[in-house]
Structure 1
Amino acid sequence: MVDLTIKEIGNKLAQAGMLKTSVLCAYGSETIPVDATPIKKINRCIANAIFTLSAQKNIPTIYIGEDDLEGCCPGGQAWFGYKGFMPMLKYFLSTGSEDFRGGAAEFLIANPDLAENQLKSIGKITPLGRYTVIQRCGELNDQDLDVKAFIGFGTSEQIRNLCSLAHFRPENVVNIQIPWGPSCASFVSYPAGVAENSPKNCIIIGPSDPTGNYWFPQNYLSIGIPFEIAKGMAHDLDQSFITQRSKIAYPIKRMSIISGEKSLQ
């Protein structure tokens, strides 16, 4: 198998998914990349900043690190391994407590005990490096970087086709999951493997966290792809249905079964 560069893998993934947003990659670094900007300058929410980087061409490479955490969501800091989870988080995720933020609650989990168990089940979270860097693949020329995951965003059809491409050589037919957690975990923490009990070598579809629905497009999904799987997908693209049967992957004519729509578009 001929080695592909990070840029080439990203280009292949974008081509396969016909993605309108940029494919990103996540890696650890002991230094801040030239011209990179702290995530907090884009948005307090790490996931929001990551999606903005993908969607807007004028945003530079972004990073978060152990000495540049102030201004970022505390939950995101924990999910990237730079801090522990707040002891009262279990109440915020579930039914609330008057002792934390005036009883504010997200009602994502049935009760505090279940929330605490969920957080413990993740295991130790180890950061990718002193800094976690998110960058567009198309802007990356340094092949010495240890890229852990690729991140893409697209419509449901685009993401379905990328999932099917991942199964072109099905060593594991259940290597695609939608786990619990915040959007930043779906984008980076799980596919990059920073959480001890992350699904191993597994594509992550998301986000499964509804708290980002106000900024994440309602017809979009995210796909986080570990490096080795992404490399295989890029190599398989030309032999796969996406290239060999492109009108099946992306039909020109479509049948509609939903009431009120034309039967053929």
Structure 2
Amino acid sequence: MAELTFREIGDRLVSAFGFTARPLAVYGSDTKPAGAVHLPAVNRCIAMSMFRMATEHGVDAVYMSGDEPEGCCMGGLTHMGFIATPEDIKYFVSTGRADIRGGAAEFLKADPGLVERSFAAEGTITPPGRYLIIRSCDTLDGKDPGVRSICCFGNAEEIRNLAALVHFDRDDPFTAVVVPWGPSCSTYISYPAGMASKAPQDTAFMGPQDPTQNYAFPPDMMALGIPAGMARRMVRNLDTSFVIRRPKVAFPDHEKIAERKKR
């Protein structure tokens, strides 16, 4: 049997889970991709750009590069491995410092040293090429361009079921799916794409858990960043799993359930 393309993988996941958002593929290239727009043309935030690509269907592919940092979030450039971590980030993410950004702080970590240690725990972050490319799976035809991971956006039920499918062929109940600390773009890209050297391999990453994104993302939206090899296995497992064999359990008719409860 011929190996599925990532367009086919994305199509199977959309069909099986009922996603209204398009799965996105992450890969790298040393040449600027044809037909892709510079990421900040969508939004300076990587995570927000991905959400808009997936849900608004207006842009099929974006790229970013250390050669073209203009307009991009500096944190995003850092977490994609294009620039070194700025010294002020550890203060901004934690308790702030009066002489940095006017004392502004996110209070996401207890102190600056903890931020440093958390970033160190990620290991070295290496971009997959001169250009990092995010492209909708439904526009990937033919030869695999070297997809490192995919990201799926969905409601809580869809992402819960997607996570359950990750566990379908795994005997370890604890590490197949994790909710990592870090910015949303790390959850969506650098962790599942294997760009962070100390991130666990063959693991899916659920999020976002970064509360600074809550202003922009719907409260019932979640995402799962999935390594490419894992995504292939998940699609191969679909037909023998609960998703296909017990669809009314995976996706019950909530309106009918609510009506029965009223009786």
Q: Is the pair's TM-score, using the shorter chain for normalization, greater than 0.5?
A: yes
Tell me whether 169-178 or 210-219 shows the greater mean CA deviation. Answer: 169-178
Deviations 1:222-243 (A, max 9, x none): 1000011100111111121111
Taking the TM superposition and a 5 Å limit, the aligned residue runs for 1:1-265 are: 2-173=2-173, 174-253=175-254, 255=257, 263=261
Q: d(CA) in 2 for partners of 1:142 and 1:83?
A: 33
Structure 1 length-normalised TM: 0.94
Offset, 1:187: 0.7
- Structure 1 gaps of 5+ residues are none
Deviations 1:4-43 (A, max 9, x none): 1111111112223211100110000111221110001111
Deviations 1:125-174 (A, max 9, x none): 10011000000111011424110001000011000111111122115432
Contact 1:54–1:136 (CA under 8 A) maintained in structure 2:
yes
Contact 2:161–2:250 (CA under 8 A) maintained in structure 1:
yes
Structure 2 length-normalised TM: 0.95
CA RMSD of aligned residues (A): 1.7
Amino acid at match of 1:177: V
Q: d(CA) in 1 for partners of 2:247 and 2:33?
A: 38
Aligned length: 261
SS of the equivalent of 1:40 reads helix
Contact 1:6–1:143 (CA under 8 A) maintained in structure 2:
no
Deviations 1:40-73 (A, max 9, x none): 1111111111111111112131010121111111
Q: d(CA) in 2 for partners of 1:80 and 1:264?
A: 51
- Structure 2 gaps of 5+ residues are none
SS of the equivalent of 1:77 reads helix
SS of the equivalent of 1:63 reads strand
